[in-house]
Structure 1
Amino acid sequence: MDKSLICFDDASKRTDPYGELKIFAGSSSSQLGRAICRHLGAELARSETKVFSEGNVFVRVLENVRGRDVFVIQGTDYPVNDNFMELLFWVDAFKRASATQVTAVIPFFSYAKGDKKDEPRVSIRARVCADCLEAAGADRVLTMDLHSPQIQGFFKIPVDHLYAMPVLVDYFREKDIPDLVVASPDVGFGKQAYKFAEMIQAPVVFGNKVRRGHDEHAEMLDIVGDVRGKNVLIVDDFTISGGTLIEMAVACKERGCKDVYACVSHGVFSKGSAAKIARSPIKELVFTDTIEHRFEELAPCCKVVSVASLFADAIMSIHRRESVSRLFNY
């Protein structure tokens, strides 16, 4: 990243034709917000969030944002509904304070799983969330690894969709694991798995899984491809309980693989997942810092890599009205 383009001293504020940039972080993404600001050489703007005794959320902007280009970083991980409502309140507060443009930076968009009406009389939850963000006044959205990329079409405002793959690929390139095979737990993640495998020059195998209900357990029926005598790297966009990754790891071990690694963009990790992952055949599970794990201790095999530099680069590109698509070139 060219640091000469990312300068926040008084002279840059006077000469920047796009005005002053302000970056705020909600309560769910304060660590990532600070990391992004470090990459930008900026200070995280001041704000406060309060939760009253009956559960109401109160937000307050503690700096002048009139005429500013505002980015608010707020993921929608656990507690999902509270964090999403807080994001809506932030957007509304900035618009009422006369910010020129408000970009909702959502590192993890939880309701992306609700992208279709595949059963009778159910809500398309991702579309409802998109409508709410637009109604609150968001001018654009910046997010990472949506469960279904077509969710971008649910919005009438611009959506910049980042991928964690470059960061994860760099990590495993440096490890230089011999006889490596990339494994996708299902064909739904197949396209991304092929890209991942191409980047690290490895073959691909696929799992054939079935999910029989709305619980988080997936049954692995078969593996398409040979893993015998190979080291396996399971790739996916997110994991909640670790169930799919564990099922795939067990299936690979039963078919004679050596070590099993795994990586996901978003490590959600529900209650009890750490113990299950620790007991599993997974040697190392790598994920990004899109989610802050304040409520569940991570398993010893877990490793976090940062995507703050990707978000920082995207934020500056949006602010300067430059192309973000260059970040997609792996």
Structure 2
Amino acid sequence: MSDRSPNYSGPRALSFQAPQGDLAVLTGSGNPMLSQAIANELGVRLTPCTAQVFSEGNVFVRILENVRGKDAFIIQGVHNPVNDNFMELLFWIDALKRASAQQVTAVIPFFSYAKGDKKDEPRVSIRARVCADALEAAGADRVLTMDLHSPQIQGFFSIPVDHLYARQVVSEHIKSLKIPDLVVCSPDIGFAKDASAYANLLHVPVVIGNKQRKDHSESAEVLEVIGQVDGKNVLMVDDFTTTAGSLCSMAELLKSRGANDVYAAVSHGVLSKGAGPRIAESVIKKMFITDTIETPADPLPDKVQVISVSKLFAQAIRSIHDRTSVSMLFPDTKPVD
């Protein structure tokens, strides 16, 4: 624990087998509670390990038992403190490779630098690509993550990337609430495809918001909503929220267009300082986030509910270890051979 808070038969038959040795699941400092929940779902114990931060900020990691020949999964999200967590992840990967783990999978519940996926201004870094190169250089054999801000980031890697979607878990919870006259709302055009996937799972219509971001601030101006919301209950969906400013503004706009109750669901509740009180004071009736991030800057208000994705991550880890299809976990997507 951290000290910080398919067989193929044909003319030339090939046999693909799981690595020799046991499954090793480790937790870094970023997601100790989610890691324990994943281990519980898998029916395994977390491999003993420790991370220590020295007074000058230097990070030291150590695995406390033999992992030689094992299929190792290190669970470490890249969220606040982003750079510390990312460097620690690199050190865990290096430690596992030097300890002769047969395969090392970096399990990254939230990959913050996925926002830096393009060069859309002069003289800027494509940060997600730099991070991808660093993970491979450290020795990662594959990556398991959830709801990347831009799915094409998978193409930055030359190693396999398994991309999970929280909407499977979140939608099941929303269904259990039996909200009448529900419509799904995307906060902007960019998330429209994902919002449609939510709507398909819930069997409800979808509407699209229109927002504009003038600079690198973490809030955007909501301009309009495209679609009918009058007399409807609305579920706003997004991959993450930092300040919750855009969601709260969108909720106000939806109410002004005649919406009844407004809900919000985001995969990653980054929730920087001030976001909690802003949500509490907003017209949002209930907000759903997952447990990919364990360190909100403010206490979560009562209207924020955390939904665990531990079972989904455990199923994916088991599939990777057993060499079965991860895509079969997503009935809303067509399996690819």
Cross-structure match for 2:306 = 304
| Separation (CA, whole Å) in 2 of partners of 1:273 and 1:193 | 23
Contact 1:18 1:320 in 2 (8 A): no
Cross-structure match for 1:107 = 109
Cross-structure match for 1:138 = 140
Distance change (3 Å), C-alpha of 1:69 and 1:17: closer
Post-superposition Cα deviations, 1:195-240, rounded to whole Å, max 9, x if no partner, equal: 1111111111111100001001110111101111111100111101
RMSD over equivalenced CA pairs, Å: 1.2
Structure 1 unpaired stretches of 5+:
1-15
Amino acid at match of 1:188: G
Classify the secondary structure of the residue corresponding to 2:273.
Answer: coil
Mapping 1:128-207, distance limit 5 Å: 128-207=130-209
Residues 1:28 and 2:30 aligned together? yes
Return the TM-score normalized by structure 2. Answer: 0.92
Cross-structure match for 1:214 = 216
Amino-acid identity (%): 63
Classify the secondary structure of the residue corresponding to 1:317.
Answer: helix
Cross-structure match for 2:14 = none
| Separation (CA, whole Å) in 1 of partners of 2:153 and 2:135 | 13
Contact 2:93 2:106 in 1 (8 A): yes
Classify the secondary structure of the residue corresponding to 1:48.
Answer: strand
Distance change (3 Å), C-alpha of 1:17 and 1:209: closer
Distance change (3 Å), C-alpha of 1:25 and 1:211: same
Amino acid at match of 1:174: S
Structure 2 unpaired stretches of 5+:
1-17, 333-337
Cross-structure match for 1:9 = none
Shift of 1:296: 2.3
Amino acid at match of 2:156: F
Residues 1:74 and 2:76 aligned together? yes
| Separation (CA, whole Å) in 1 of partners of 2:111 and 2:213 | 22
Shift of 1:294: 5.5
Cross-structure match for 1:51 = 53
Residues 1:61 and 2:63 aligned together? yes
Cross-structure match for 2:324 = 322
Cross-structure match for 1:7 = none
Residues 1:254 and 2:270 aligned together? no
Structure 2 counterpart of 1:88, from 74, 87, 90: 90
| Separation (CA, whole Å) in 1 of partners of 2:78 and 2:193 | 26
Classify the secondary structure of the residue corresponding to 2:140.
Answer: coil
Amino acid at match of 1:277: I
Return the TM-score normalized by structure 1. Answer: 0.94
Cross-structure match for 1:97 = 99
Classify the secondary structure of the residue corresponding to 1:104.
Answer: strand
| Separation (CA, whole Å) in 2 of partners of 1:69 and 1:199 | 34
Amino acid at match of 2:293: I
Classify the secondary structure of the residue corresponding to 2:29.
Answer: coil
Contact 1:18 1:319 in 2 (8 A): no
Shift of 1:17: 6.6
| Separation (CA, whole Å) in 2 of partners of 1:294 and 1:215 | 19
Distance change (3 Å), C-alpha of 1:61 and 1:294: farther
| Separation (CA, whole Å) in 2 of partners of 1:294 and 1:92 | 29
Mapping 1:215-254, distance limit 5 Å: 215-254=217-256
Cross-structure match for 1:12 = none
| Separation (CA, whole Å) in 2 of partners of 1:225 and 1:39 | 41
Contact 2:106 2:143 in 1 (8 A): yes
Contact 1:208 1:221 in 2 (8 A): yes
Q: Which runs of 4+ in 1 moved over 4 A?
A: none
Figure out how many residues of one structure are paired with residues of the other and give that number.
316
Classify the secondary structure of the residue corresponding to 1:194.
Answer: helix
Amino acid at match of 1:192: D
